[in-house]
Structure 1
Amino acid sequence: MATDPLDRILAALGDARTGSSDYDLNPGVILPPGRKLRAAGVLVPVLCGHGPARVILTKRSSALKHHPGQIAFPGGKQDAQDPDITATALREASEEIGLDPGNVEVLGYLPKHETVTGFDVTPVMARVHAPFQPRAQAGEVDEVFDVPLAHLLDPGRFRVEKRLWRGNWRHYYTVPFGPYYIWGATARILRSMADLAGPR
């Protein structure tokens, strides 16, 4: 019987894990106590059972206010009508990439992630059962693509890079794939997933 490619991650989802943030690699940053963050949910959709498992990602529109042109999971801020953060992630994935919620099996939650833009992001891990034709949301998503899960679970694929941000050097994770420069919050969440899949 073939091993489920998500087994190692699923086995660790219940572990108590500290959330991550865009400031992880920058220990000199002191976050103000009592800061108010906006809840957001992203879907981490993994297509399984049709060849090697692949993670579906998006390239955001360059016209967006937050994280323009960056590689991201489908997702966004929680709206008042969303009953919970899982509903947010599923709704956003349906809107942004045309993923039918009926084709999705929610598996659990990766550690939360705080962004420099003030969002408290919950990554919702999900299995996509059947291949589908992505439909990029006009004005929000420039491209929908996928990356082999094995590439993203290999710690050796991750690098720490830096750039000047508001006059200071900011360090962050990257996990490039082909022409796609995956960095920042998306790379940090993927690094958390790779850590969960590590030796137990």
Structure 2
Amino acid sequence: MTLAERLSRALESGHAQDMALLTGDHRDGAPDIATPTQAAVLIAVTERAAPGVLLTRRTDTLSNHPGQVAFPGGRIDAGDSGPVAAALREAEEEIALPAASVQIIGIADRYRTITGFEVTPVIGVVPPDLVLTPSEAEVAEVFEVPLDFILDSANHLEAAVEWQGHNRHYYEIFWNDQRIWGATAAMIVNLSRRLRWGS
């Protein structure tokens, strides 16, 4: 079975009623945002014997989430036909990942952030060792984390911090010197629960 077939089958069979999925960066006692901004990210899985996931580290000069690890992605523009088109466009703009090289597998669970975005993760398979060029204005580096590592629940660490007068609960994942946390980590946790990879 190919990687694309494994991912597709896992994504389709993962819709269990009892699945505990994260719905947002929770703040105790904080109201929800009624009309979130729609966004999309690309979860690009590399086609190799031990598949990996492409992630970026944002530049320290960005006004929003500087230096944080994230999937390529951003808001869905009026010219985009939907989340898939937005995710592919943003990946090409941020890391020069050609849209034609992405085999779309499907859409994972949407995730609502505390900053007012509802993010649709788009799952795709890409060839290994593509030459990727980070956008200097947005992306400090591109790196790859093994899929098995990132989906292993043993690597999903729960944490909490007080933020703007409320308790904020979040997950973090450490890979080498990279700290993956917040919305990106939560989408990974959801994907892990959805795919039940290796089970």
Q: Do they superpose with TM above 0.5?
A: yes
Q: Is the 8 A contact 1:96 1:140 kept in 2?
A: yes
1:6-61, Cα deviation, whole Å (9 max, x unpaired): 655422423277662111xx5x334347x111110100000013x41010000011
Which residue type is aligned with residue 160 of structure 1? E
Measured in 2, the distance between the counterparts of 1:38 and 1:189 equals 17
Which residue matches 2:60?
62
Rounded Cα–Cα distance in structure 2 between residues aligned with 1:142 and 1:117:
22
Residue 50 (structure 2) aligns with: 52
Shift of 1:119: 0.6
Does residue 20 (structure 1) correspond to residue 23 (structure 2)? The answer is yes
Distance 1:8 1:106 in 2: 13
Given residue 42 of structure 1, which amino acid in structure 2 is its aligned partner? V
Partner Cα distance (1:7, 1:114) in 2: 28
2:41 is aligned with 1:38: no
Unmatched tracts of structure 1, length 5 or more: none
- TM-score after normalising by structure 2: 0.88
- TM-score, structure 1 normalization: 0.88
Equivalent position SS for 1:57: strand
Asked whether 1:109 is paired with 2:107, we answer: yes
Q: Distance in 2 between matches of 1:129 and 1:19?
A: 30
**Count of paired positions:** 193
Distance 1:82 1:198 in 2: 31
Secondary structure at the counterpart of residue 116 of structure 1 = coil
Query: How do 1:59-138 residues align onto structure 2 when only pairs under 5 Å count?
Result: 59-138=57-136
| Aligned counterparts of 1:44 and 1:165: Cα–Cα separation in 2 | 28
| Runs of at least 5 residues in structure 2 that lack an aligned partner in the other structure | none
Q: For residue 167 of structure 1, what is the aligned residue in structure 2?
A: 165
Shift of 1:80: 1.2
Number of the residue aligned with 1:190: 188
The 3-state SS of whatever aligns with 1:173 is strand
Cα distance in 1, alignment partners of residues 103 and 7 from structure 2:
15
